Structure 1
């Protein structure tokens, strides 16, 4: 029976018992009738109060026992949790990359949060895809994922919704491959650097090409998130690649959307600050347009990267009318120029570019020229007379997936 019911019953029962016990002795006491009744009620109430106090005390003692048991269980659980956290901390500290685990997780969490926050509309694919393909062929570049020169991978015959679904799932599940293309010294053709290209892979191992997903991502408002995620994945993969060959160096593109994304870049700088040992291995590439017409965020983030010790390469160059001393002050060490553009400017009876003077200006600023998209021996012979420093293109090797490039 519940305690509440017991107390109610006792309120009436104990006075009745008291009256029944004391009633025979009342006449001998000599009290009047009203005094006898009062005595009986007083005694009954006192008995009732005593029983109630005892019951309440016993109930409180039981509750205290229950609370003490729960406290003991809680303390045990807390001790177990502390031991688990301690074990995790020891595991992390024993890892080779323990110094940047926290910052890496912070960047990844933020990127996945951005990805989850997007609700892409159904994009219109065909016109955007055609425009993107022309953009690649014209060497205008793609945000964060530079299109490989002469790329020959076929586009998958899947619809737009499936492409976006594959891209989002691949980013969440780390199905991003690192493709590397060699950059060689000339005329020796010795491999000196690699340029990084990120490629998204579906669960069947098929590669989703940038010209297929970039226009869809732009229509869905996902392009900035994808740029950021691919940049972050690229740095992760480079970090692994240099473990076995610490002398390797890589060119990695940072898109303007990544450079001006305040939230992402703040976390990214923290991540890089925990990976400063990569400064000899990483050269960040930026499009000329973003550098010659910089936003405030671009200037600030360039300085933050330079303060960490990283150096840069100018990419997607459309004009060689450059302020080389200013670029050198910003941390630029390389200028990348397309082979066809350089041929048009420096060859012919009336060349627009005095190659000797240009190379001299580069040398005085401790900068080197990389000529990209060299596809044939004839093209190379034509360019070697210009005394170029480095070359890149299918003649020296196409982009290939790898995590440990051979020298």
Structure 2
């Protein structure tokens, strides 16, 4: 393009020189000089024009490159942020959860396949009727409770007369024992279960289930359970002072929950000292927890809002709605270790090794009670059970004197 312009420019300058020679009468030298001057002037003008256009083009290209570099810098910054975010993610936990889900799903599918195979074999052998009868016997207790699971705890009811309980309460004769609950495999102490015991005139030391589960109208059991919570709070408080904080599991029953005055008093006491109430676990049997009416649930929710947790004891099955239980304040569930080891299918449809991880996802700890031998401990370790309790772990022992509450003052305070 530039060569064509210069060619036509030279032709035009030559035409000027010819015109001056023939039309204006210039000499040949003068016409040649005019042609050279015109050619030089035109060349300078055209070069300046081309230079200006080139500079403008370069400026535009430079601005375009600058904009592109700015976009690249922003993109790099975004990528850097994404890389930082991804590097900060704990992919191991997510992978572990995914592996646990896949493992649980695989276990359920395998058990389903085995159940279908057993049904087909039973039908082929003509023993469907007998299998049905055995299944009915196995889950007879489940129909009464309205859900799956097969371990049934026999409760013969209290054997100590209510008058004897009133006498012991009036004379501060309720003895307090503590049994540790430990974590596996380190066997570090998670907390202690408070076990009130009553010694009658014949010298027999009765366990809590012999006298705590009355449904009386005298308010004795509610007053006794209120005293237990006060003593437990006092033990936790003194343990915190001595630098040895611990959790304390305190048994309660329907008697306290249905005594609105005492229950409200306890809720106020717990709410006033969150440091203590956070370490208190109110222990109810699963049967009691399932039998709560709307008013009982309201009383229990008041205690939970005050800071206390809930522990379900004597769990007959682990086929539970753990999400709903967690929302109601359940922190721990306790099952019988011997029954779980001997008949795991009566407790759950999951593989035994996957059960504790599944329960833990809902913020609930699984405690196996009644551990009576080292073989039980080894079995629980294989099943990754996090907590254990029982006579083999440690026998119940009286409360240490430095942690024991001043019963007389506490007794008077409850009146």
Give the secondary structure class of the aligned counterpart of 1:245. helix
Which of 229, 232, 255 is the equivalent residue of 1:235?
229
Q: Distance in 2 between matches of 1:210 and 1:173?
A: 18
1:256 paired to 2:250: no
Shift in alpha-carbon separation, 1:201–1:274, aligned structure 2, 3 A: farther
Gap change, CA 1:403 and 1:237, over 3 Å in 2 = farther
Is 2:165 the partner of 1:167? yes
For residue 226 of structure 2, give the secondary structure of its aligned residue in structure 1: helix
Take 1:306 and 1:342, find their aligned partners in 2: how far apart are those partners?
29
1:328-353 deviation per Cα after TM superposition (whole angstroms, max 9, x unaligned): 111111111111221134379xx844
Aligned length: 248
The Cα shift of 1:318 comes to 1.0
The residue aligned with 2:107 is none
Moved more, 388-397 or 339-348: 339-348
Q: Deviation of residue 178 (structure 1)? A: 1.1
Report the 3-state secondary structure (helix = DSSP H, G, I; strand = E; otherwise coil) of the residue aligned with 2:211: helix
RMSD after superposition? 3.4
**C-alpha deviation, 1:312, in angstroms:** 1.2
CA contact (8 A) 1:140 1:316 kept: no
TM-score relative to the length of structure 2:
0.53
1:392 aligns with 2:389: yes
1:142 and 1:278 mapped to 2: Cα distance? 34
| 1:19-61 Cα shifts (integer Å, max 9, x gaps) | xxxxxxxxxxxxxxxxxxxxxxxxxxxxxxxxxxxxxxxxxxx
Residues of 1 paired with 2:301 and 2:340: CA distance? 30
Residue 201 of structure 1: CA displacement? 4.1
Which residue in the other structure is 2:331 paired with? Answer: 333
Cα shift at 1:202: 5.7
Q: CA deviation at 1:326?
A: 0.5
Matched with 2:272 is: 274
Q: How does 1:8-407 map to 2 (within 5 A)?
A: 139-140=153-154, 165-201=163-199, 206=203, 208-210=205-207, 214=211, 222=216, 225-246=219-240, 247-346=245-344, 352-403=349-400
1:139-162 per-position Cα deviation (integer Å, ceiling 9, x unaligned): 54688x9xxxxxxxxx9xxxx8xx
Report which of the two structures shows the higher radius of gyration computed on alpha carbons.
2
Secondary structure at the aligned position of 1:362 is classed as helix
For the structure 1 residues 198 and 230, does the alpha-carbon distance in structure 2 shift closer, same or farther, using more than 3 Å as the test? Answer: farther
Structure 1 partner of 2:411? none
Structure 1's 273 and 280: CA in aligned 2 closer, same or farther, altered over 3 A?
Answer: closer
Alignment check: 8 A CA contact 1:178 1:197 kept: yes
Post-superposition offset of 1:304: 0.7
**1:392–1:213 distance in 2 versus 1, CA, 3 Å:** closer
Unpaired runs of at least 5, structure 2: 1-151, 404-415
Shift of 1:297: 1.5
Look up the match of 2:67.
none
Cα shift at 1:198: 0.9
